[in-house]
Amino acid sequence: MINDKKVIVIMPAYNAEKTLEKTYNEIYQNFVDEIILVDDFSSDETKEIAKRLNITTIVHEKNKGYGANQKSCYRAALKAGADIVIMLHPDYQYTPKLIPAIASMMAFDEYDAVIASRMLGNSALKGGMPLYKYVSNRFLTEFENLVIGEKLSEYHTGFRGFRRNILENLPLEDCSDDFIFDNQMLALILYNGYKIGEISCPTKYFAEASSINFLRSCKYGLEVLLVSIEYRLAKMGMKMKPFSMLGKTLDIEKEIEYYNKRTV
């Protein structure tokens, strides 16, 4: 716990057998109450490795997608009593050593959410981020800041933390089950007036780190532009899902797998 807040780390996993243990070993266990991994029907030994490491593990019976994986992660974390939830990819691209700092920024009620930014400190290119990804990230972030009216350094990191109230109150079930879920979630947080903090995060790019292909990246980029436009239209009074507090919030009772599909 940090400041009497229960901290749970969630890992949305898919074919992470080569990097899961390295990621796990860099988590400061004395700051974390529980680690929950959701395996999205991997074809490798991800769930077996998670079991050996004594990670609470939930296994999807079919591949549901990155966004759906996160929804399962958040339901399980809420059911487990989390006050603060840190989402960390198990691909070892982001350093888990920042978990105490990220959690502390929320545990003392300074922020409702925190993102670990690769763009602060100019570490992205030094860490091996491909130039086209760097340029795309910069362009999409500037577009979103302009349309949404914020000043975040990036919207596309896979290392982020949330306080319980965000997960309970936002209509996350109305968000996509695909990669654009991340972007929709941040837009929802801003739309509803929650405060987002940022911390500089070094990153590593290597063969085993997860990455979407060029076509999926293009699709994601177009969806990011659409989310920004939908945000602005919603602010102008138009009914645009998921930008409504009347949407579907996470139903933690739905995560039956937490009880009957866990491997530890």
Domains and CATH numbers, the chain: 7-260 (3.90.550.10)
pLDDT band at 253; cut points 50, 70, 90: confident
pLDDT of residue 160: 98
pLDDT of residue 81: 97
3-state secondary structure (DSSP) of residue 102:
helix
Least confident of 8-22, 66-80, 129-143: 129-143
Reference 166, options 85, 99, 246; nearest CA is 85
CA distance 172 to 179: 13
pTM above 0.85, yes or no: yes
pLDDT band at 254; cut points 50, 70, 90: low
Each residue's pLDDT tens digit, 181-234: 999 999 999 999 999 999 999 988 877 666 678 888 899 999 999 999 999 999
Q: What does residue 116 show for φ and ψ, rounded to 5 degrees?
A: -90, 110
The 10 Å Cβ neighbour count of residue 124 is: 23
pLDDT of residue 257: 47
> What totals of helices (H) and strands (E) does the chain contain, helices first?
10, 7
